[in-house]
Structure 1
């Protein structure tokens, strides 16, 4: 059977359907010798055909059973439709396709009586000429809709372009509020002698719709009224796919649901409204986790947390964290942290969350000791998937000890912040940028002076290549304590440099303000710079080279009068499902002598 000119001849001066859909399915793994002929392997279409075939490029492992001849035959017969679709999608409407199984045309073999054995399969492709559009129209189109460039006279007559054009036209109307826009008619004529295709597409926008009521389809432990509040679907307003997407994301980011789907009704409701139903699957109520990180000579850090995702039935969350760090470390003593964070989504409006935080922390560092209690309440405004703003009111009381002596203070704080996260992957970023800005005015109730502590963390990433991708990563950090003199500033608000997070290769918090006589305190200004080159050596392993530099000054803002140090090193990364495992070795390259020759850092995720 010659599928191609014989079968495709019926296209001549005949109308054919626009949308050719075929299931991609899972590839059948074959042991027979399969060859694709009639097209050079240098042709881009060779790879496209190979990728679309159930026969080509398949292999089996030793553990897997070899496929039967019936399975091989079924794959060969399914390839007719799949590979013809590839030819049509690339403008070859008069090509020829032959698939032979041990010399016999696959289409002529009965699937109920397959050969006992199949040794060789040949797929022979004759492309023929490319067809061009001699007419390309779609009407009506919503104002502002940008149609694909390929849908034009003289361009390759690709079914992919036709499908994309129809999809773009329908989505243009949906974006304008016409949720039930559809393809009303399609006139396609393929003229084989002229090697052209004429395409006339007509859309039916339907009526302009408004959002109808949102109903909850599945039972949930989250109260229905809270689901509606969190989703924030604007009932009565003009339909918008973007609003539907936002409502879905609001429900998803609560963490209370494993699966979220907002489904449009099949029928239009009263007064041109579109009812929406929510299909939700609750997440497990509780979650428990732990982690570990080791650095030399910082020691071992252990973290643990417990999470309740639906505390009061309104998707409120309560997370309790505990951390012990500096275990068996050579720098300072052991640090402790215990915190509880409560969050209530959709407070005041659907994109504003309320939070309350209580924490107790002890920091036993080389240059200072601090034990503090923090109470903070505030709101978090989620402006988009990438932009978040924070505003809070807090009370902080602490006992500190440093080179200036012991101190007890109580502060009223106003923590504010903004986060811009445009990274493609939080744990292993390839491209994008990230900025975290924190500004915290504080009013001293006792033991300190009024002031402002600010900190900026900015990161940028760019990746080149695919097979052995090279990623360049840059990070800049700026810190400042404005207001109190160095001697009366809260000791745990001051800045130090050195170790993971600032300058690898240097001991943890080894750089501060030198008071003489071996006494060091933190600085009121900090600048940190980091650069990494990440090379993907294999699918699982990567190699990293890095350079870090840090600056600490006594002044409120950087003026160059302080002290700098730097470090450099190499690391390896091993890819896992939860992010790359990181192993870095850094050495000091400049700065005050510390007596340490190298530092080791182990963790999960990239360094930044």
Structure 2
């Protein structure tokens, strides 16, 4: 006679079956008699037998091991859904797998049958975790009358323990439990007792595994507040600060088992260092704008204190039809945990030669900067920069010299920086500048806002993505504003379908001089994309972009706009999607014909 929990009972009201022959000699059958399709899908997902079928396992010993372990996997999956009186049978060529001795594994297995009778779902007749710290929030559904899913009990216990840990009781743990299933009533009574333990303070941080990194700098970067009340969030942030340096391949912070009298809890950081040097490169191609190549070389730990030296260069507009080739070289040296554990201070030096359609420029910028991490998603930055630029256009040569104080905030709540499906991104910066000589003084402001929403509930997202960019220059004249502070539109970063920086404003440098194009002091651009994955790796995109440039402000008469639209393909890779966009102008006069854009990552 079959036993409850492992042998098939009488068939219930309805059944769902899956039978797929792998070969002429081997057949798998998985049947669920009762429940609904969602339960059947969960059970199939938990099945080791079906996993072996999918992996095309043929070895009898492996198949036998999967079959014997199937009972526990299926029962666990049923408990997770609130079914506590199941009957499960796993038969190997007609024999119950649980009854076959391990030393009597069949030399050949032709058929494996899994049969599940879930029974009726249970509800909570009691749902109690106590005592709880003030403010502890129990998971939704952990209450009398709700489906008694075992995962809810685990989540409730975890929430209770986390509630005590959040106010300093680091050693909080379950101290007892009573869980009773009433099969006659299909009810489950769950009672768990917690032991909060004493309220503790952070003890000293011990570090293991460092090689080139200086111990005092690790302690400084971690910023663990020794002597203050234990807080798991502080522990998490300390680990994140160490990871953020890029010096370490892995970082783990563990709490000591023992408490140091009277109430100190020591922490051990175990780190594994990365190789100190790294390099990388990238490329992006547009049919009219040409090829952009980027590359960098970086030393992660220059002086043993996580000082990051980075040298990066870019050659852009190679083969562009409307401008020459641009060259840029930048050198930065950053030091984390300067002033505070969350503040990085750095030095920067940049050289650039721009060969644009309407002007040539040689630009040198040197500065000191700081970045502060307010949280995982919010960062602030500030800098003091001096820039010298020599500009040559049809009206002659002009020298711009200015000192700027850029201050910005970045709020990044995207789920994936290269392929976001939900969340938002907001970057805002104001840049007051003091001009010298020919250069005026004023302020430049710029905002980049993006939002993403996944409209699909399946495993193939359908995402609506939107972007708005806006910028303005205040206080300076159009011709007295540093040329690289003015705004243009067109190209892959603003309006696809129109050539790079093709939209500006037409001005005269002096009476009778030749008219030429320069950037404007007001800029607005918007983009909308619909992104759909048609397979697990291939997606399609439809998009519309529009841009506006004003000479002095958004609404004065000297301004223009343009728009573009197109379709794109995406191919998902482990490092972000490969992007191919084809766009054409649908408004304005700055574009003509089709443009193609190729790159890595979504367009925004």
TM-score of the two chains, using structure 1 as the length reference: 0.92
- Which residue in the other structure is 1:154 paired with? 145
Return closer, same or farther for 1:204/1:60 CA change in 2, 3 Å cut-off.
Answer: closer
CA drift of 1:42 comes to 4.6
The C-alpha deviation readout for 1:517-565, integer Å capped at 9, x for no partner, is: 6521111111111111111111111111111111111114554651111
1:77-119 C-alpha deviation (Å, 9 max, x unpaired): 1011111222223332222111111111111111222112211
Query: Which residue pairs with 1:33 in the alignment?
Result: 27
* Aligned residues of 1:294 and 1:603 also touching (Cα < 8 A): yes
Decide which of 348, 365, 382 is 2:373's aligned counterpart. 382
2:367/2:386 contact within 8 Å kept? yes
Say yes or no: does 1:496 pair with 2:488: yes
Three-state SS of the structure 1 residue aligned to 2:104 is: coil
Moved over 4 A (4+): 5-8, 557-561
Deviation for aligned residue 1:255: 0.5
SS in 2 for 1:56: helix
Q: CA deviation at 1:289?
A: 1.1
CA contact (8 A) 2:502 2:590 kept: no
- Listed as ranges, the matches of 1:70-81 within 5 Å are 70-81=61-72
Cα distance per residue 1:177-236 (max 9 Å; x no partner): 101011111122223333333222111101001111001022331111110110111111
SS in 2 for 1:55: helix
Q: Distance in 1 between matches of 2:504 and 2:562?
A: 10
Q: Is the 8 A contact 1:401 1:491 kept in 2?
A: no
Q: Report the Cα distance in structure 2 between the residues aligned to 1:330 and 1:376, rounded to whole angstroms.
A: 34
Q: Could you say which residue in structure 2 is the equivalent of 1:535?
A: 532
In 2, Cα distance between equivalents of 1:247 and 1:54: 39
- Is the Cα contact below 8 Å between 2:34 and 2:117 reproduced in 1? no
**Structure 1 residues 111 and 361: CA distance shift in structure 2, 3 A:** same
User: Does structure 1 residue 605 correspond to structure 2 residue 601?
Assistant: yes
* 2: CA distance, partners of 1:93 / 1:490: 73
Residues 1:195 and 1:299: Cα distance change in structure 2 (over 3 Å): closer
SS at structure 2 position matched to 1:46:
helix
Q: How does 1:11-160 map to 2 (within 5 A)?
A: 32-39=26-33, 42-56=36-50, 58-60=52-54, 66-160=57-151
Q: 1:210 to 1:462 in 2, by over 3 A?
A: same
| TM-score, length of structure 2 as denominator length | 0.93
Does residue 580 (structure 1) correspond to residue 577 (structure 2)? The answer is yes
Cα pair 2:34 2:119 within 8 Å, conserved = no
User: C-alpha separation between the residues in 1 aligned to 2:525 and 2:497?
Assistant: 14
Segments of 5+ residues of structure 2 without an aligned counterpart are 9-21, 509-513
What is the deviation of 1:38?
4.2
Residue 484 of structure 1, aligned match among 469, 476, 489: 476
User: Contact conserved, 2:6 with 2:88, CA < 8 A, in 1?
Assistant: no
Q: Please report the RMSD computed on the Cα atoms of aligned residues, expressed in angstroms.
A: 2.0
State the 1:36 CA deviation: 2.1
2:202 is equivalent to residue 211 of structure 1? yes
What SS does the corresponding residue of 2:50 show, helix, strand or coil? coil
Taking the aligned partners of 1:41 and 1:296, their CA distance within structure 2 comes to 57
Structure 1 gap ranges (5+): 9-28
In 1, are the aligned partners of 2:224 and 2:235 still within 8 Å (CA)?
yes
What is the number of residues matched between the two proteins? 584
Change (3 A) 1:558 1:403: farther
Query: Post-superposition shift, 1:343?
Result: 0.7
Change beyond 3 A, Cα 1:43–1:298: closer
Match of 1:14 in 2: none
Matches of 2:412 and 2:499, distance apart in 1: 30
Q: In the alignment, which residue of structure 2 is the partner of 1:267? A: 258
